């Protein structure tokens, strides 16, 4: 395997689901794991030969760079536009067989956006040059890595996202039949803590799904920035959470249209009796403009459901346990004193008071945490 090469993964306008893939590539947070599936007939020969048949051997020992692109197809083998969007890191890939009708699976972590040399035009000529004989033929192929000067640093991610989604022309969002797919692009920061520090994703090894690991009794914030390409007749952005483990509202919603906006929704985890798994779900729900119908335009909505692992705080739990022990001691000390000679253990009132005082402190801390 040549570390100087990247695997190019292309999606297109051929179906609405493929357009949703493009919207997700642009919208989802850094480090989130996505996967693309392709029939083997759409893979170049070197990629087909590279993929293992055995899923157990599909986890890569060394990550491989991927470049995520969007193309516009007039017909199945006529591509008239292309956009180079974002980098990723391939973590797992395999195929179900060796025939054209078998399926390949590619799991990758999203990373930096790729800046374009073309601010007003698409990247067709550049992508055509990069892909060579693969253009018009294959959606997955190897090519030499692009220079690092094109990779957008994380601090410029929001600007690079905006530049990328603005460059995709309306005519390149139409299906081969002419139906316009109207997406709701949405830059999703994901979860941050109370200090505005991003919560990084962890990975479930068995499924290669991304999840958040957070703590009980803390405030977190879900941040996002939607950008619309048309004015919908109805408009909703929603975040649903589990009311059993979050003390904040189980449903957040924005239903007032704005072509660009910002949402910051607070999520407060409750104190738990045990570690627990749950999820948060973000959904876009747009409808067609009133002057358009489903035959000529279809909104492109998507949903993002992220598993969440909420852990109890062991130090805080130990602190609460000491309070319960102190309460038990405060109840037992007078009984012990009654069995002893009258002149012995004269300090028992102070011990009892101290134990009750410590128990009170821990109860106040618990109530404060739960409020």
Map out the domains of the chain as residue ranges: 1-177, 179-312, 314-370
* 140-189 pLDDT tens trace: 999 876 555 588 998 899 999 999 999 999 999 999 999 999 999 999 99
* 9-33 pLDDT tens trace: 999 999 999 999 999 999 999 999 9
Report the DSSP pairing between strands 5-12 and 140-144: antiparallel
Token reading at 369: 């945490």
DSSP state string for 299-332: EE--EEEEEEEEE--HHHHHHHHHHHHHHHHHHH
Q: Where are the alpha helices (DSSP H) in the chain?
A: 16-27, 45-50, 124-131, 157-167, 314-338, 348-370
Mean pLDDT of the chain: 89
Question: 1: pLDDT confidence band, cut at 50, 70 and 90?
Answer: very low
DSSP state string for 200-267: PPEEETTTTEEEEEEETT-EEEEEEEEEESS--SSEEEEEE--TTTBSS-SEEEE-S--SB--EEEEE
> What pTM was computed for the model?
0.84
- pLDDT reported for residue 243: 95
* 294-346 pLDDT tens trace: 778 899 999 999 999 999 887 766 777 787 888 888 888 887 777 777 777 77
Question: 370: pLDDT confidence band, cut at 50, 70 and 90?
Answer: low
CA-CA distance, 202 to 208, in Å (whole number)? 9
- pLDDT reported for residue 146: 58
* 44-101 pLDDT tens trace: 999 999 999 877 777 677 889 999 999 999 887 889 999 999 999 999 999 999 999 9
Question: 121: pLDDT confidence band, cut at 50, 70 and 90?
Answer: confident
* 356-365 pLDDT tens trace: 888 888 888 7
Q: Are 142 and 84 in contact (CB under 8 A)?
A: no
Signed CA dihedral, 333, 334, 340, 345: sign only? positive
- pLDDT reported for residue 51: 93
- pLDDT reported for residue 148: 52
Token reading at 179: 């139906």
Which DSSP category does 149 fall into? G
* 184-218 pLDDT tens trace: 999 999 999 999 999 999 999 888 999 999 999 89
Report the DSSP pairing between strands 263-268 and 276-286: unpaired
CA-CA distance, 200 to 213, in Å (whole number)? 8
Q: Give the Å distances, CA to CA, from 40 to 6, 54, 63, 358.
A: 18, 15, 22, 67
pLDDT over 90, % of the chain: 61
Signed CA dihedral, 170, 188, 68, 41: sign only? negative
Which CATH class for the 179-312 domain?
mainly beta
* 110-120 pLDDT tens trace: 999 998 877 77
């Amino acid at each position: 395997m040549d570390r100087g090469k990247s695997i190019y993964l292309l999606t297109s306008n051929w179906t609405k689901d493929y357009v949703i893939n493009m919207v997700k590539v642009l919208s989802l947070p850094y480090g989130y794991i996505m996967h693309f599936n392709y029939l083997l007939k759409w893979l170049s020969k070197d990629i087909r030969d590279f993929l293992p048949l055995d899923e157990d051997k599909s986890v890569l020992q060394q990550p491989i760079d991927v470049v995520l692109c969007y193309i516009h197809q007039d017909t199945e083998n006529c591509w008239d536009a292309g956009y180079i969007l974002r980098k990723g890191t391939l973590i797992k890939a395999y195929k179900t067989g060796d025939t054209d009708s078998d399926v390949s699976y590619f799991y990758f972590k999203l990373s930096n956006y790729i800046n374009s040399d073309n601010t007003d035009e698409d990247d067709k000529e550049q992508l055509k040059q990069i892909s060579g004989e693969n253009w018009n033929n294959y959606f997955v192929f190897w090519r030499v890595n692009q220079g690092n000067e094109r990779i957008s640093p994380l601090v410029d991610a929001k600007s690079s996202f905006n530049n990328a989604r603005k460059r995709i022309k309306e005519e390149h969002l139409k299906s081969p039949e002419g139906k316009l797919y109207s997406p709701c692009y949405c830059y999703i920061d994901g979860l941050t803590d109370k200090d505005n520090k991003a919560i990084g994703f962890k990975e479930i090894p068995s499924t290669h799904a991304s999840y958040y690991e957070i703590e009980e009794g803390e405030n977190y914030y879900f941040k996002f920035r939607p950008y619309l390409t048309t004015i919908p007749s109805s408009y909703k952005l929603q975040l649903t959470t589990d009311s059993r483990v979050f003390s904040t509202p189980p449903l957040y919603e924005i239903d007032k249209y704005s072509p660009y906006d910002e949402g910051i929704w607070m999520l407060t985890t409750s104190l738990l009796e045990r570690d627990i798994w749950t999820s948060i779900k973000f959904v876009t729900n747009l409808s067609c403009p009133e002057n358009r119908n489903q035959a000529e335009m279809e909104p492109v909505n998507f949903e993002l459901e992220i598993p969440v692992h909420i852990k109890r705080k062991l130090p805080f739990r130990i602190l609460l346990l000491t309070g319960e022990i102190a309460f038990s001691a405060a109840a037992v000390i007078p009984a012990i004193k009654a069995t002893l000679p009258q002149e012995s253990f004269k300090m028992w009132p102070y011990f009892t008071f101290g134990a009750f005082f410590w128990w009170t402190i821990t109860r106040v801390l618990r109530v404060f945490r739960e409020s």
